[in-house]
């Protein structure tokens, strides 16, 4: 396989497209949102014969024992219960895959306009394939996902990226999906709800609230800039495409081995020495949670609840069904702090344990605030970020105090399991000397090291991967 990195960077720099214009893509999504029939309403679990609450085992599940179930999860730290709440148990690994093709000299990505029941705006830009194992073994009786056969035989094509990555550790129990990007050179039919886009167009569309879904973002974050070395001539060819020269240096000149040992040492220290265990428990054993026909709710301040929904969507493999969805209470904030040191862009990441993490903890972003996060528990990083956020959000601030973030957009969580769950994703640049005394679980690192770690599984959590996907040239 030829070196695709220069072609990927050129596609990243191409925000206008050579198959469809960006304006045409926006019109396409708008028209689909206006014309596609969607009817979603809350219901009682007693209204449905497929999903039920097993009060003996304390579990919400369906008659086929397929898709997923909902159980309680308890976290014990240093002998004390520090967290317990409902989680989604879905041990199967699904596909999140994107097909690429060179069209008239430009690398394009085949993206899907997909409706999920929990989406705020119905239709969002999704990967070529977004399918659970239950989808492609047809556990629900529906048809196979479009283009599934190409992914089933992906060994016939050039693979850019293929890795099993985690989902949200606060909502799922050890859930992972296979993230895959492959390049094909054959003609095949393009169906009406699919469009070719350059990487630059997708990145541009990520600037629009709730337009590019979470699954697209996690897949694209894995593009492996580190697995193929570039010659000096190739670097010289693509460097002018970067307006952020510090980012170019962070990707192509920063040696990942400079910071990788420190990053992995910090992460592995936690995994080895933290006195933490988790255990599945029946829902009725959760101290502050209550199970009722309408759903599962907390008696205390919680970040989500579970509700049951009647769903009818035109154009899906199955048009009408009922299922539970995790419903957000408020909006989360995920932030990445960056600085430039010696001409190289660095990112502040932290060891982030979560109750449902596959291996107890992963690297997370600088800021990962659930809606219930209070300023009372802020550390030095939180306090700095909160002050910067104030300078961004306060329109009355003096010009000297205003701050322009590198990215600031509201994006959705995966609508197949979460109902209207949105979060603010923001990247803020600070001065080189603004954060010198870091809490123990934080570390500065370059893009090259983070990109290297994405090529392995369970190193970077989904919030960090999603933020990295927003980085601009």
CATH number at residue 455: 3.90.79.40
Per-residue confidence band for 138, with pLDDT thresholds at 50, 70 and 90: low
CA distance to 11, 331, 360, 364, 457, per residue, from 357 (Å): 34, 21, 5, 12, 12
- Domain assignment present for residue 247? The answer is no
Co-location of 270 and 412 in the same domain:
yes
- The answer to the question of residue 240 being in a domain is no
pLDDT, average across residues 51-80: 95
Structure confidence at residue 402 as a pLDDT band (50, 70, 90) = low
Instruction: Label residue 397 by pLDDT band (50, 70, 90).
Output: low
Q: Is residue 194 part of a domain?
A: yes
Q: Is the pTM of this model over 0.85?
A: yes
Q: What is the per-residue pLDDT across 414-464, written as a single tens digit (0 to 9) for each?
A: 999 999 999 999 999 999 999 989 999 999 999 999 999 999 999 999 999
Residue 78 covered by a domain: no
| 37 or 248, greater pLDDT | 248
Residues 46 and 32 in one domain: no
Q: Are 267 and 449 in contact (CB under 8 A)?
A: no
In angstroms, the first-to-last Cα distance of the chain is: 25
Residue 175 has what pLDDT? Answer: 96
Is 248 a member of any domain? no
Same structural domain for residues 53 and 100?
no
Pair 30, 102 in one domain: yes
Domain termination site, one of 231, 247, 268: 231
pLDDT of residue 291: 97
On average, the pLDDT of the chain sits at 94
How far are the Cα atoms of 80, 139, 352 from residue 464, in angstroms, in the given order? Answer: 29, 32, 10
- Domain-located, residue 79: no
| Residue 177 and residue 30 share a domain | yes
Q: How many domains are there within the chain? A: 3
Counting residues of the chain whose pLDDT is more than 70, the rounded percentage is: 96
Predicted local distance difference test score (pLDDT) of residue 403? 84
Cα distance between residue 142 and residue 148, in whole Å: 13
Residues 265 and 349 in one domain: yes
Q: Does residue 398 fall inside a structural domain?
A: yes
Q: Are residues 107 and 137 in the same domain?
A: yes
Looking at residue 67, its pLDDT comes to: 87
Say whether both 214 and 112 belong to one domain.
yes
pLDDT of residue 319: 77
Closest CA to 331 of 156, 140, 120, 70: 120
In this prediction, residues 196-217 reach a mean pLDDT of: 98
Residue 245 lies in a domain: no
Residue 356 exposure: Cα atoms within 13 Å on the Cβ side: 25
CB count in 10 Å sphere of residue 454: 25
Average pLDDT over residues 268-285: 96
Question: Where in the sequence is the domain holding 135, given as residue range(s)?
Answer: 5-37+91-231
Higher-pLDDT residue of 473 and 403 is 473
Least confident of 117-121, 132-136, 206-210, 381-385: 132-136
pLDDT average, residue stretch 127-144: 77
Q: Which of 267, 299, 328 is at the close of a domain?
A: 328
Same domain? 458 vs 368: yes
Residue holding tokens 């997708």?
A: 202
CA distance 60 to 69: 6
Kindly state whether residues 358 and 369 are assigned to the same domain: yes
User: In the structure, what pLDDT confidence band is assigned to residue 142 with cuts at 50, 70 and 90?
Assistant: low
Q: 294 and 271: one domain?
A: no
Confidence of residue 314 (pLDDT cuts 50, 70, 90): confident
Q: Are residues 223 and 270 in the same domain?
A: no
């Amino acid at each position: 396989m030829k070196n695709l990195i220069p072609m990927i960077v050129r596609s990243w720099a191409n925000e206008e497209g050579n198959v469809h214009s960006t304006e045409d893509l926006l019109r396409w999504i708008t028209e689909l949102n206006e014309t596609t029939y969607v009817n979603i309403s809350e219901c009682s679990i007693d209204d449905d014969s497929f999903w039920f609450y097993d009060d003996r085992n304390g579990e919400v599940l369906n008659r086929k024992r397929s898709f997923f179930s909902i159980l309680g999860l308890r976290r014990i730290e240093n002998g004390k219960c520090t967290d317990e709440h409902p989680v989604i148990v879905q041990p199967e690994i699904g596909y999140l895959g994107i097909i690429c093709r060179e069209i008239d000299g430009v690398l394009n990505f085949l993206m899907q306009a997909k409706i999920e029941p929990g989406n705020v705006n119905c239709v969002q830009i999704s990967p070529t394939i977004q399918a659970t194992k239950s989808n492609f073994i047809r556990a629900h009786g529906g048809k196979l996902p479009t283009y599934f056969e190409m992914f089933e035989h992906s060994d016939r094509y050039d693979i850019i990226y293929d890795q099993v990555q985690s989902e949200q550790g606060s909502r799922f129990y050890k859930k992972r999906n296979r993230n895959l990007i492959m390049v094909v050179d054959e003609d095949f039919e393009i169906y009406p709800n699919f469009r070719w886009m350059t990487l630059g167009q997708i990145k541009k569309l990520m600037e629009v609230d709730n337009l590019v879904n979470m699954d697209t973002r996690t897949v694209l974050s894995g593009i492996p800039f580190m697995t193929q070395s570039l010659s000096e001539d190739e670097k010289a060819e693509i460097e002018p495409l970067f307006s952020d020269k510090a980012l170019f240096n962070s990707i192509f000149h920063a040696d990942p081995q400079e910071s990788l040992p420190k990053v992995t040492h910090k992460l592995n220290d936690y995994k080895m020495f933290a006195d933490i265990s988790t255990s599945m428990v029946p829902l009725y054993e959760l101290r502050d949670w209550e199970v009722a026909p309408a759903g599962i709710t907390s008696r205390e301040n919680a970040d989500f609840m579970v509700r049951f929904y009647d769903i009818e969507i035109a154009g899906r493999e199955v048009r009408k069904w009922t299922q539970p969805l995790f419903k957000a209470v408020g909006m989360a904030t995920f932030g990445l702090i960056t600085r430039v040191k010696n001409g190289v862009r660095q990112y502040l990441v932290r060891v982030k344990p979560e109750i449902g993490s596959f291996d107890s903890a992963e690297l997370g972003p600088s800021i990962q605030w659930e809606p219930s996060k209070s300023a009372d528990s802020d550390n030095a990083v939180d306090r700095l970020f909160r002050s910067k956020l104030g300078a961004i959000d306060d329109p009355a601030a003096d010009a000297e105090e205003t701050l322009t973030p590198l990215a600031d957009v509201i994006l959705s969580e995966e609508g197949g399991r979460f109902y209207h769950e949105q979060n603010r994703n923001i990247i803020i640049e600070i001065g080189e000397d603004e954060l010198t005394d870091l809490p123990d679980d934080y570390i500065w690192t370059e893009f090259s090291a983070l990109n290297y770690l994405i090529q392995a599984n369970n190193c970077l959590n989904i919030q960090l991967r999603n933020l990295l996907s927003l980085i601009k040239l």
